[in-house]
Structure 1
Amino acid sequence: MPRHIIFDVNETLLDVAALDPFFERLFGDARTRVEWFLTLEESWLTATVIDRYQPFGELVQGALTMTGRRRGIDVTDAQRQELVEGLKTLPPHADVLQALQSLRDHGLHLTALTNGSLDTAKQQLASAGLTDCFDAIMAVEEVKRYKPAPEPYRMVAERLGITTAEMTMVAAHAWDIAGAASAGCQTAFVARPGKVLNPVGIQPDIKGDDMREVVEKILARQA
């Protein structure tokens, strides 16, 4: 099993459900957070397909405006900015810190790869107390192509001086698993709440109900 482990950030490491109170205040229903995130995913997938990169922060705010319009609610600039700032202080999932430390204790090399901006990712991981767990933090803005396009995964491999076959991508998103596998990576899926694999899509090499289980399986393959 590869010794370079690459982690998606939002939802995989960090708990986006911490934004639920914001969505409850704005829309009267915390479940709109899921709708907003799906709209955000649609936005970056569209940007990638049509080869028209837009900064992540713009897509975050645009997705919130779209969510509001579906409900006849005018979202203000202040509310859009509140969401952007809220993303910077998301807490880690409870199983993350110990899992990352276990990988490092076994001599594995950890990299964070996010569809968000690099500055935001650094703030997020610092706020979550995870910065020291990573050897590198990278963002797709460098290649201006969002995951699951192949360029971000290839960028990581190039920066690390390895091939994609020497990487394992850990993510809670079926599209990230499919993108990484198509780029030649090994993959590991974390079944965060509400996240499922595509039954007719590319399947991961490893899957687990939480990060602890995924890490145990990664380490078992190192033996």
Structure 2
Amino acid sequence: METIIRPKVLFFDVNETLLDLTPMKKKIGDVLGGREDLLSLWFTTMLQYSLVASASGQYEHFGAIGAATLQMVAANNGITIPEQEARKTIDESLGGLLAHPDVKPALSSLREAGYKLVAFTNSSNEGVEKQFESAGLTTYFEERLSVEDVGKFKPFRETYDWGARKMKVKPQECMLIAAHGWDVAGALWAGWRAAFVSRLGQQIFPLAPKTEISVPDLKQVADILITYK
């Protein structure tokens, strides 16, 4: 059996990878006139405009972009949401999420196996701190890295380079664990290793380099990584 060398640092995406976004459907749906089906469109639009900001050399907190794009999606469906209401909705939606059932057992196994765990998120520093406190995830991670400190969202290559430098490791010593094909692709193109968690509705980008691990849940990712030497 082939011996696979362990990555020195495991970087975890937060929203959807660790935290279950399902409860957001009702809150977002309520302000969109009961249109819970628009959640995916809103989330995709939020990601799109986070990239627009980064590509243009600008930065706004993920929550601010989320509120602005919620207003955009609403307007396209004949709904008006005041800015203050949009911000409150996004802050409450992102702040009260719980971890997927497989998350804490997987993180515990990886810590016991000696891995260094780091959160790596597009959420702001304040946002991810609140999220982790609410979800009970704070003690599992040695560090939380927010793109707020580099001013550029994932999947820009500079952001992954910054994450590696921050943890004082080489790109090839990093592994991103994420449930988003775009995030995994960005990490791989930046010279990182990657594990894809195929949460419901998520797919690997076919044009990206081959992903080292691709399984349905985080527990299976942990089971594989524990066999590495």
Query: Normalized against structure 1, the TM-score is what?
Result: 0.95
Which residue pairs with 1:111 in the alignment?
A: 118
Matched letter for residue 76 of structure 2: R
1:110 is paired with a residue of what secondary structure? strand
Higher mean C-alpha deviation, range 16-25 or range 66-75: 16-25
Q: Distance in 1 between matches of 2:29 and 2:190?
A: 39
Which residue pairs with 1:163 in the alignment?
A: 170
Which residue pairs with 2:7 in the alignment?
A: 2
- Counterpart of 1:15 (choices 11, 20, 35) is 20
Cα deviation for residue 164 of structure 1 reads 1.4
Q: Distance in 2 between matches of 1:74 and 1:122?
A: 31
Q: Distance in 2 between matches of 1:104 and 1:15?
A: 21
**Is residue 45 from structure 1 mapped to residue 51 from structure 2 by the alignment?**
yes
Matched letter for residue 13 of structure 1: L
Identical positions, percent: 34
- Counterpart of 1:181 (choices 188, 191, 194) is 188
- Counterpart of 1:134 (choices 141, 151, 154) is 141
Matched letter for residue 62 of structure 1: A
2:132–2:138 contact (8 Å) kept in structure 1: yes
Cα deviation for residue 158 of structure 1 reads 1.5
2:71–2:86 contact (8 Å) kept in structure 1: no
Which residue pairs with 1:92 in the alignment?
A: 99
Q: Distance in 2 between matches of 1:82 and 1:26?
A: 8
> How many positions carry a matched residue from both structures?
222
2:188–2:208 contact (8 Å) kept in structure 1: no
Cα deviation for residue 128 of structure 1 reads 0.4
Q: Deviations over 1:4-51 (max 9, x none)?
A: 100000011001111111123222121211111001011111122222
For structure 2, which runs of at least 5 residues remain unmatched after alignment?
Answer: 1-5
Q: Distance in 1 between matches of 2:212 and 2:185?
A: 11
Query: Normalized against structure 2, the TM-score is what?
Result: 0.93
